[in-house]
Structure 1
Amino acid sequence: MKYPMSEYHAWSYIGKSKPKFDAHAKWSDVEQLIKSEVMLAQPVSPSETQSAWLTIPKTSTALSNFASRLLDSSEERHYQGRKGVEPAGAKGVYILQKPCIQANGNLLIVNDMTRQRRKDILDKGEHKGIVEADHIYPMLGGRNVKRWKIESNEYMIVPHTASEKYGIPELDLVRDAPLTHKWLSFYKKELFDSRVQNGKFFDAEKNPFYRLDNVGEYSFSRFKVLWKEQTGSMAAVVVGNYSESIPNHERKLFSDDKVIMVDSKILFLALNDMREAHFVCGVLNSPSVRKVIDGYAVSTNRGTDVLKYLAIPKFDSSNKIHTEIALKSVCLHQLHKRPEIPAHAVESEEAALDALVLKMVD
């Protein structure tokens, strides 16, 4: 195999419909319903021949040159993607319907059983109860996120802290949040069984029965760049705290402004600087970078490798191009909050953003 392959043909249907072909159909009939485009194809990482293939139209010489610079494996990688919180088979326990605040600041919660598949938890049914607000967080999943925009949100119970990534010790939870412990204990057997069967490295001797996977200090970062695991084209967005990012948020729901959790269908980059978050998001959402990402990332699995392969420079607040990219990202986030803004205005801003990213990578 020699790379790049210069005669890689990508086939697609003509039109939106997907016709059914009979096994005995003649080529003369089939060729009227499909088309092909000649692509260049090569491993996205030259040093990893088993890495995903990057495929780019053969006629797109400028894009191919840009991709080579953007994916340069000799450049240092400064950003690491993370996977969102994984309920390990118990999504219907941890994801909640909208809580109701009580007079004393506690929250009345009901879990969302429409998100559950595991039978023993389904048989147990939903559970309504009052808990402390400490471990209830706003949460975003794939259905809540679009490019440049948060459309809605959900809620999640996360009995962890930034320093207790394997879950708050049970005795500590009983002492500090007894109502939360009582509520979780309704599903104690089911949660324990699902941890044993689905959890990563779950230690029944050390970890509490309510432990979640993919939780760490990064989960509690104030700023995050999110992108959807499953999407037709790369779609990233910046979020800050609850009141900063969630449309139609109910500020009185929490006594303090909560960080936003993300579920396992979202990938994210944790950051402590808003400008840096907008810089990275601006790069990821720029049209040229999207074409490159779409050229190697499978639409149903845009994982942490999205950042692994991109040579995005470390944000430098003294670098004019970096700050301008960040400002364009802020502008595009604001534009998407105004439905009356015409599409051509957004396209114009994205074109200006793309020019900055092309200049930066050149």
Structure 2
Amino acid sequence: MIQIKNNNLVQIKTCPDFGRNEKVKPARKFWIEPDFLYPLVKGLEIYRNVMSQSKKDLYVLVPNKGITKQLLEDCENDMEDKPKCEGFFSTYQDQLILRSTYSKRMTEHAPYFCISNVGSYTFAPFKVVWPEQPGNKSFRAAVITKGNDPISGQKVFVPDHKLFFVDFYDSEPAYYLCGLLNSSTVQAFIDSHNISIQVGNVFKHMNLPEFDADNKKHKELSALSEVAHNEDNKIKRQALLKTISKLGNSLL
């Protein structure tokens, strides 16, 4: 549980069990500025409640808004005003520098605490997400929007690195795409090919109809998908998923 100080600092606790680096163990607590803190969605949470958003108390630090030279410089300048956060990162500097995503994908002068796969898409208000490896479960997708933020109230969810996603700035096309991806036709296709194709490249192997705001069935599918995301009753949600699948199949 995140705690808050009167001077707007938040206490975080690291989750070393999520990684394989023994040098970051054991779990530790830090007081930091919350500016770079975002609610996190992990892949398994989608399958626990397919069409609903994460309610876990998990967060991720995203210090940079992108990887252009200017955005990396902005990030470094921003960090100077956040000594507690900088102290947290410096504690793990040796491990952060050794990241393959940092050493192979970032520019030579990138701050060691920056993340490589970050851009405007990371902070989009709506994201359709699906796990990189569905495992022994059928393919499922979900829309994530905003989660709890200890200071501001809400911030956009940031997907875990094991999730693929498509970013949207409007809700209707996001929920529409999610409905299509949860149709039995799409699920059967992906489930039968998830060994031979990367699940992240599903759109290279399918021709899905683009959202049309003037199409009543498209709007109906979007609306049903959004309702399903907000339905906590498992039986009612499963009934909605069946209706969504049937409607989605009719559009393919």
TM-score bin (small chain):
0.7 to 0.9
Q: CA deviation at 1:170?
A: 6.1
Q: CA deviation at 1:143?
A: 2.3
Establish whether residue 185 from structure 1 lines up as the match of residue 90 from structure 2. Answer: yes
Q: CA deviation at 1:254?
A: 2.4
Distance 1:172 1:304, change over 3 A: same
- Name the structure 1 match of 2:177: 280
Which of 73, 77, 80 aligns to 1:175? It is 80
Establish whether residue 329 from structure 1 lines up as the match of residue 194 from structure 2. Answer: no
Q: CA deviation at 1:334?
A: 2.9
Letter matched to residue 126 of structure 2: F
Establish whether residue 116 from structure 1 lines up as the match of residue 6 from structure 2. Answer: no
Which of 30, 35, 38 aligns to 1:129? It is 30
Matches of 1:168 and 1:137, distance apart in 2:
21
Letter matched to residue 106 of structure 2: F
Structure 1 runs (4+) deviating above 6 angstroms are none
C-alpha contact 2:37 2:60 (8 A) present in aligned 1? yes
- Name the structure 2 match of 1:20: none
Matches of 1:257 and 1:163, distance apart in 2:
25
C-alpha contact 1:241 1:258 (8 A) present in aligned 2? yes
Matches of 2:66 and 2:132, distance apart in 1:
24
Q: CA deviation at 1:352?
A: 3.0
Matches of 2:89 and 2:55, distance apart in 1:
26
Task: Mark the runs of 5 or more structure 2 residues left unpaired by the alignment.
Answer: none
Matches of 1:121 and 1:352, distance apart in 2:
46
C-alpha contact 2:183 2:249 (8 A) present in aligned 1? no
Q: CA deviation at 1:171?
A: 4.0
Which of 228, 233, 238 aligns to 1:338? It is 233
The CA deviation string for residues 201-225 of structure 1, in whole angstroms up to 9 with x for no partner, is 233x311111223211111101011
C-alpha contact 1:167 1:212 (8 A) present in aligned 2? no
Q: CA deviation at 1:294?
A: 1.1
Establish whether residue 150 from structure 1 lines up as the match of residue 53 from structure 2. Answer: yes
Q: CA deviation at 1:260?
A: 0.7
C-alpha contact 1:160 1:168 (8 A) present in aligned 2? no
Q: TM-score, normalised by structure 1?
A: 0.62
Matches of 2:61 and 2:173, distance apart in 1:
29
Q: Bigger radius of gyration, 1 or 2?
A: 1
Q: CA deviation at 1:256?
A: 4.9
Q: TM-score, normalised by structure 2?
A: 0.86
- Kindly indicate which of the two structures has a greater share of residues assigned to helix: 2
Cα root mean square deviation, aligned: 2.6
The CA deviation string for residues 111-170 of structure 1, in whole angstroms up to 9 with x for no partner, is 111123123334xx4442211110011001112212212353311111112576975656
Matches of 1:133 and 1:311, distance apart in 2:
41
The CA deviation string for residues 174-211 of structure 1, in whole angstroms up to 9 with x for no partner, is 43322211211111122112357x644233x3111112
Identity percentage over the alignment? 27
